């Protein structure tokens, strides 16, 4: 089975383009590939699933213990012919940018996978070999098994490949040419969603064709073939409770592993759209409002008065609810849209969401509960992640948050039926899914 971690010496090296090219080419070759993303990024896995039609999951060694990451990898790779794990930032860049914790290197080391290093040979030739030798010497084992040149002409590839192989000992498996016609647009939180990118399938076809032509596939398979991970036993649980999950363009940041963990805890997930539906799904015991882009759809969310009223009534009436980041903003009194206009929201919480114009409290943190609540016991801590350009006038005080660099703040709202705050929770491998499903079951029983 073809298995690899695809990473680069630094951000901007073209990892996402290379992953898309590889996955699309593998599918064109009759393979069943799957994808993984190192770190907390929602957008790349969502893109892999929507555009390339492949299973895609997050693997994060800050959120999860190594055994949990190995289990999630084995589950995600089951029934597949190839697995491509995309790194984040530079190869050794981890927590805080000054450690290798949760880096692509630590993921490769934990999963014992070989690494394909994507290198953009811009403005360097022999010096590039020196930089690569530094990467090889920095950690033992380094796990780097091959090089893929990106944004590189055929003539430059023919010049550089023999030199790089001689100077570094690493095989160069091919190149991807300069493909401006296949550029994938981004915005303030990363890639645009699939539906927003013009001529997307044509772009993917261009990438796949380039990978087919310019990669030595026999060499790639030889270098990165590994025994498939043992498939974990399938968990089959009869659904005991229905949980409504917001899922549309405004609320699209959900970890696949979180949804799977909720199902394994006995939940039937009922997806609905706060943008278009007039009411919550029927006979639900809980509500999950994930993050996304409510600021881009604030006018539509505000215009859907029946849904805002339904959410307000349900949450105020004690329906167990989790609202993360964008979902948290939706529960507030108002939200400034990307157009600068302030719109009414559900009005469950006191905050008024406003645009800051930069990332706010960005990155990993540790969240510690100050009181008992639906999901947490007082004093209990969980790793979380924040990623937003909007803030609110009322962040809450139910939790203490702390970064590795010593920064601290209070945030979040929590009680016996609510978690709401900017921090994104990672549910897989934690008690949260069962606690949420149990709260939903209690809610249903109390009303029957």
Q: What is the pLDDT of residue 243?
A: 98
Do the Cβ atoms of 294 and 351 come closer than 8 Å?
Answer: no
* Nearest-angstrom CA–CA distance, 27 and 19: 12
Q: How confident is the model at residue 187 (pLDDT cuts 50, 70, 90)?
A: very low
Q: Where in the chain is the domain with CATH 3.40.50.300?
A: 2-224
From 142, 39, 15, 37, select the one nearest 95 (Cα to Cα): 39
* pLDDT tens-digit readout, 364-402: 999 999 999 999 999 999 999 999 999 999 999 999 999
**DSSP H helix total and E strand total for the chain:** 13, 24
Integer CA distances (angstroms), 157 to 163, 176, 177, 215, in order: 10, 9, 9, 11
Please determine, for residue 147, whether its predicted confidence score (pLDDT) is greater than 60.
Answer: yes
* Residue 191 vs residue 54, higher pLDDT: 54
Looking at the domain 241-446, which fold is it? Rossmann fold (3.40.50)
Do the Cβ atoms of 147 and 176 come closer than 8 Å?
Answer: no
**DSSP, res 440:** H
Q: State the average pLDDT over residues 406-412.
A: 95
For 102-215, strand residue ranges (E) read: 115-119, 144-150, 172-176, 186-187, 190-191
- 325 catalytic per annotation: yes
Q: How many residues does the chain have?
A: 448
Q: pTM for this structure?
A: 0.92
Helices (H), 348-396: none
Please determine, for residue 440, whether its predicted confidence score (pLDDT) is greater than 90.
Answer: yes
Integer CA distances (angstroms), 371 to 343, 375, 377, 384, 427, in order: 32, 11, 7, 18, 20
Q: State the average pLDDT over residues 131-159.
A: 97
Residue with tokens 């990473």: 7
Q: Where in the chain is the domain with CATH 3.40.50.880?
A: 241-446
φ, ψ at 383 (rounded to 5°): -70, 140
* Residue 184 vs residue 23, higher pLDDT: 23
* Percent with pLDDT over 90 in the chain: 82
Record the tokens describing residue 146, joined without a space: 């091959």
Straight-line distance from the first to the last Cα atom of the chain, in angstroms, rounded to the nearest whole number: 51
Helices (H), 276-398: 298-303, 305-316, 326-331
Q: What is the pLDDT of residue 53?
A: 84
Superfamily of domain 2-224: P-loop containing nucleotide triphosphate hydrolases (3.40.50.300)
* pLDDT tens-digit readout, 17-39: 899 999 999 999 999 999 999 99
Catalytic residue of the set 20, 270, 325, 411: 325
Q: What is the pLDDT of residue 45?
A: 85
* pLDDT tens-digit readout, 55-92: 999 999 999 999 999 999 999 999 999 999 999 999 99
151: CB partners within 8 A, 6+ apart = 14, 120, 122, 176, 177, 178
Please determine, for residue 329, whether its predicted confidence score (pLDDT) is greater than 80.
Answer: yes
Q: What is the pLDDT of residue 203?
A: 84
- Mean pLDDT check: name the lowest of 29-38, 131-140, 180-189, 353-362: 180-189
Q: Which residues of 253-281 are buried (b: 16+ CB within 10 A; e: fewer)?
A: bbbbbbbbbbbebbbbbbbbebbebeebb
- What's the angle, vertex CA 245, arms to CA 240 and CA 246, rounded to 5? 165
* pLDDT tens-digit readout, 214-261: 999 999 999 999 999 998 887 788 999 999 999 999 999 999 999 999
What does pLDDT average to over the chain? Answer: 93
From 148, 206, 198, 154, select the one nearest 182 (Cα to Cα): 206
Please determine, for residue 191, whether its predicted confidence score (pLDDT) is greater than 60.
Answer: no
Q: How confident is the model at residue 194 (pLDDT cuts 50, 70, 90)?
A: low
């Amino acid at each position: 089975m073809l298995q690899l971690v695809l990473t680069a010496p630094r951000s901007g090296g073209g990892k996402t383009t290379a992953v898309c090219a590889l996955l699309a080419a593998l599918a064109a070759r009759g393979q069943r590939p799957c994808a993984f993303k190192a770190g907390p990024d929602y957008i790349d896995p969502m893109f892999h699933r929507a555009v390339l039609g492949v299973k895609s999951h997050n693997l994060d060694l800050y959120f999860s213990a190594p055994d949990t990451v190995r289990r999630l990898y084995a589950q995600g790779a089951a029934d597949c012919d190839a697995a491509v794990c995309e790194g984040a930032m530079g190869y050794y860049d981890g927590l805080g940018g000054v450690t290798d914790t949760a880096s692509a290197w630590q993921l490769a080391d934990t999963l014992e996978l070989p690494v394909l290093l994507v290198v953009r040979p811009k403005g360097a030739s022999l010096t590039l070999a020196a930089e690569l030798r530094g990467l090889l010497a920095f950690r033992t084992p380094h796990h780097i098994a091959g090089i893929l040149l990106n944004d590189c002409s055929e003539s430059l590839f023919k010049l550089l490949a023999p030199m790089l192989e001689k100077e570094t000992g690493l095989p160069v498996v091919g190149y991807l040419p300069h493909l401006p016609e296949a550029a994938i647009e981004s915005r303030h939180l990363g890639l645009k969603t699939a539906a927003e990118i013009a001529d997307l399938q044509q772009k993917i076809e261009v990438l796949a064709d380039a990978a087919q032509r310019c990669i030595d596939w026999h060499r790639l398979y030889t270098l990165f073939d590994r025994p498939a991970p043992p498939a974990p036993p399938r968990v089959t649980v009869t659904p005991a409770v229905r949980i409504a999950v917001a899922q549309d363009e405004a609320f699209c940041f959900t970890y696949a592993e979180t949804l799977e963990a909720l199902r394994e805890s006995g939940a039937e997930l009922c997806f609905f759209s706060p943008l278009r539906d007039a009411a919550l799904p029927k006979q639900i015991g809980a509500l999950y409002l994930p993050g996304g882009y409510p600021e881009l759809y604030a006018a539509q969310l505000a215009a859907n008065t029946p849904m805002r009223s339904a959410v307000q009534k349900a949450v105020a009436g004690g329906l167990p609810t989790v609202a993360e980041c964008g979902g948290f903003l939706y529960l507030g009194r108002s939200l400034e849209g990307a157009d600068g206009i302030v719109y009414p929201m559900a009005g469950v919480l006191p905050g008024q969401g406003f645009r800051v114009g930069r990332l706010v409290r960005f990155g990993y943190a540790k969240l510690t509960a100050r009181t008992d609540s639906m999901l947490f016991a007082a004093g209990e801590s969980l790793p979380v992640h924040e990623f937003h350009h909007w803030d609110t006038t009322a962040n809450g005080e139910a939790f203490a948050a702390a970064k590795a660099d010593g920064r601290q703040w209070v945030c979040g709202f929590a009680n016996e039926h609510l978690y709401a705050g900017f921090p994104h929770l990672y549910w897989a491998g934690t008690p949260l899914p069962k606690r949420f499903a149990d709260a939903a079951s209690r809610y249903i029983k109390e009303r029957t």
